[in-house]
Amino acid sequence: MAERSGNQTYYELLEIPQSAGPMDIYNAYQRARKTYSPSSPALYSMFSPEEASQLMSLIEEAYQTLSHQGRRKEYDQKIGLGATPTPPKPAKSNESPGKNKADDAWVGQVRTVPKRDELPKGFARTRYSVYEVKPDLESEIQEAQEMDGPFLQKIRLYKGVKIEQICDELRMTKTSLVALESNDLDALPVPVFTRGFIVGIARVLGLDGKKTADAYMKFFKANKK
Amino acid sequence: MKLGNVSNVDFTPLRGRVEPGSTIIAVGGGKGGVGKSFVSSSLSIFLAHLGYDTLAIDLDLGGANLHTSLGAPLSNVGINEFILNPDLEFSDLIQPTSWPKLKLISGSSDVVDIANIDELQRSRVMSAIFRHKADFTILDLSAGTHHSTVDFFLMAQHKVTVITPDPSSIENAYRFLKAAFFRKLRRYEHQLQLKSQIDELLNNKAQHGIKNPSDLIRVLVDREPVLGLKLRNILGALNYEIVLNQARTRQEMELGYSLQSVCNKYFGFPCDFLGSLEYDNAVWQSLRQRNHLLQANRQSHLYGQLMGMARKLVKSHQLKAVV
């Protein structure tokens, strides 16, 4: 395995999301070929020709794996991803030059790449942060039958997510989120929208959306005049 | 349970840090003549057009020309006087432009040796910029990797780098981005007590298989998981934004994606490609008439390309309806 790969997955090498379809994979591959070809001006002073050729061979390898449904599924399992979305049509694997088209030719070469940035023991991550797991707080969250604004704020601060990040993600105003966290129920929208907010916030904080929304709405309905 | 009122909530502790008075956009690029002043002035005009209070500041100390790009007259009071005169207020420097929402702080006055400011003067300028209240503040930076230039670049939320397809521009831009990366790394290594570790890794790069900043951070995280991850998160916020200027062909227009990809892999954090700007003779023609392209030649393709960039810089919830 080439050194340059570090602990990047094939998806990160091709700079595509894990949900990318065959066309996205093909386009990303074509773009990467252009970028890391020896004549590319973009490499100048950043990667040596040897480093670029190492990267190129990894990119070829990534494309060969991800453009084939079976190999991609196998690879996803190896790196600990869930099921890959079924592509609507087969990828154009025949358009990349110099490839062995036999289905089983690459199976033995599927690389086991560790999932990116494996966290040290006792740490977990949300979409926006890495935080230290506190078992007592985790159990408090798990057991909570009713949640109010300050409790949600406590979870947010524990997980190290900023107000701005939630606002950006959910397209909600800072005022609404502050109102929610400070139990200013009069400033919140009608229950159906508030519930929607809570489901979104729970998703950002890595909580169960339904459970969190049920727990908050119990509080909301009891206290809303 | 006690129900509070949102109007009584103190926002300060929720923020956790001091917020700047405006969204700061720094436009740098490492090499002279790549169009930093053109991009800064154009973005300023478009942001003002979109309805935002915008302040353009010429921080190309010693080589100021933003006022010329904006077609503004020479001014006797500008950033140079602010640096030299401690009694001068920042608000005294602001001059109007042809666009009602756009204000300018120029560096047009002739002061010899102004490019070499000391740390105290630099932090006074930075603090004044940070506290200035507006929607957007655009910083037009100088070429090169002087500490002042890099510090002004790092203080911005949007760090825009202007690159042309010439190899010399690409090389200088990369050098500028590397300088910014290591300046930030050096600033935080003390705080996180990682200096000795980082020095050791940098002195023995070959032994540890370190070929670029991405490798450095990866090895550091392996050694010091908690502090390494903290440092990686801090550096990840650098999030460089690339503008490809003076593209003459379709291949050159697409070069921006390649530059973005190389930066992603080299630095190990995501960089953005804001867009490409076509080469247009109308730019220098309008400059010779001391007029901005956006006033002199609205039919130019650049109009749409720059408008697209300005809109990308504005977060979706900030977008206003413009009639």
pTM over 0.90: no
Per-residue confidence (pLDDT) for residue A82, from 0 to 100: 61
Q: Return residues 264-283 of B near A (CB < 8 Å).
A: 264-266
Determine contact: A35 vs chain B, CB below 8 A: yes
CA distance B171 to B30: 9
Per-residue confidence (pLDDT) for residue B3, from 0 to 100: 43
> How many Cα atoms are found within 13 Å in the side-chain-facing hemisphere of B85?
13
Q: Beta strand B136-141 with B240-247: parallel, antiparallel or unpaired?
A: unpaired
Determine contact: A117 vs chain B, CB below 8 A: yes
B66-118 pLDDT, tens digit per residue, is: 888 888 888 888 888 898 888 888 888 999 998 999 999 988 767 767 777 88
Q: What is the mean pLDDT of each run of 10 residues along chain B (323 residues)?
A: 41 53 92 91 92 93 85 84 88 91 85 78 92 93 91 94 94 94 90 88 88 90 85 88 92 91 91 92 83 78 89 72 55
A53-89 pLDDT, tens digit per residue, is: 888 999 999 999 999 989 999 998 888 776 545 444 4
CA distance B126 to B141: 13
Residue B202 parent element (H or E)? helix B195-203
Determine contact: B76 vs chain A, CB below 8 A: no
CA of residue B242 relative to chain centroid, distance: 10
Phi and psi for A131 in degrees, rounded to 5?
-140, 160
Q: Which of A45, A133, A225 to probe by mutation at the B interface, max B CB count within 10 Å?
A: A45
Q: Looking at the predicted structure, is the pLDDT value of residue A2 above 50?
A: no
Per-residue confidence (pLDDT) for residue B243, from 0 to 100: 95
| Contact criterion met (CB < 8 Å) for A163 and B14 | yes
Q: Where do the DSSP E strands lie in chain B?
A: 23-28, 54-59, 95-96, 102-105, 136-141, 158-163, 240-247, 272-278
Per-residue confidence (pLDDT) for residue A110, from 0 to 100: 37
Determine contact: B13 vs chain A, CB below 8 A: no
A151-196 pLDDT, tens digit per residue, is: 999 999 998 888 888 888 888 888 888 999 999 888 888 899 999 9
Would you say the C-alpha torsion B179, B181, B184, B190 has a positive or negative sign?
negative
Determine contact: B167 vs chain A, CB below 8 A: yes
- Considering CB atoms only, which of B1, B226, B259 is closest to A120? B226
| Contact criterion met (CB < 8 Å) for A44 and B175 | no
Identity of the residue numbered A33: R
B266, A46 Cβ separation under 8 angstroms: yes
- Considering CB atoms only, which of A6, A40, A219 is closest to B215? A6
- Considering CB atoms only, which of A15, A130, A185 is closest to B229? A130
A48-61 pLDDT, tens digit per residue, is: 888 888 889 999 99
Per-residue confidence (pLDDT) for residue A83, from 0 to 100: 53
Angle B164-B140-B128 (CA atoms, 0-180°, nearest 5)? 155
Mean pLDDT for A123-137 is 84
The complex scores an ipTM of 0.78
Q: Which residues contact B294 (CB under 8 A, 6 or more apart)?
A: B42, B45, B46, B303, B306
- Considering CB atoms only, which of A46, A178, A186 is closest to B9? A178
